[in-house]
């Protein structure tokens, strides 16, 4: 089982460039999440989705956009990357709001 797959695994961007991170899950989970992880801080929720066609803001949404056009995919976009967005990004999914999580392997993004 693939579980949750994130692409790409690594990326270096120049300030002002744009990019999209893809998260794909094959478990038919309704809920999907994007987190960022920074040194010395816990995981912080960027955006999440409770089903196909829905998205909602999390704790740190500024500078990011998301889309969930298909149930299995959750895309995270950076329209104009900034050095403050250098981080490790994790996607996760769950079958319900209180269910156990399955995480992707992460994307390490560096903005120079």
Partner 1 sequence: KNEVEQSPQNLTAQEGEFITINCSYSVGISALHWLQQHPGGGIVSLFMLSSGKKKHGRLIATINIQEKHSSLHITASHPRDSAVYICAVRGGDDKIIFGKGTRLHILP
Binding site for partner 1 (CB under 8 A): 40-45, 59, 88, 90, 92, 97-103, 105-106, 108
Q: How far is the CB of 80 from partner 1 (least distance, A)?
A: 26
Query: Measured from the CB atom, is 38 or 79 closer to partner 1?
Result: 38
Closer residue to partner 1 in complex, CB, 85/107: 107
C-beta closer to partner 1: residue 53 or 99? 99
Shortest distance in whole angstroms from residue 93 CB to partner 1:
11
Least distance from partner 1 to the Cβ atom of residue 79, Å:
26
Measured from the CB atom, is 42 or 69 closer to partner 1? 42
CB burial readout 9-28, b (16+ within 10 A) else e: eebebeeeeebebebbbeee
Provide, rounded to whole angstroms, the least separation between the CB of residue 69 and partner 1: 24
């Amino acid at each position: 089982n693939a579980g949750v797959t994130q692409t790409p695994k690594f990326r270096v961007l120049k300030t002002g460039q744009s990019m999209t991170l893809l998260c794909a899950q094959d478990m038919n989970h309704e809920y999907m999440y994007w987190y960022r992880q920074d040194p010395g801080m816990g995981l912080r929720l960027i955006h999440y989705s409770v089903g196909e066609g829905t998205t909602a803001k999390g704790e740190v949404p500024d500078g990011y956009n998301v889309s969930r056009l298909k149930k299995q995919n959750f895309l995270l976009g950076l329209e104009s990357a900034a050095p403050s967005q250098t981080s490790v990004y994790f996607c996760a999914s769950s079958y319900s709001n209180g269910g156990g999580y399955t995480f992707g392997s992460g994307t390490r993004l560096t903005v120079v």
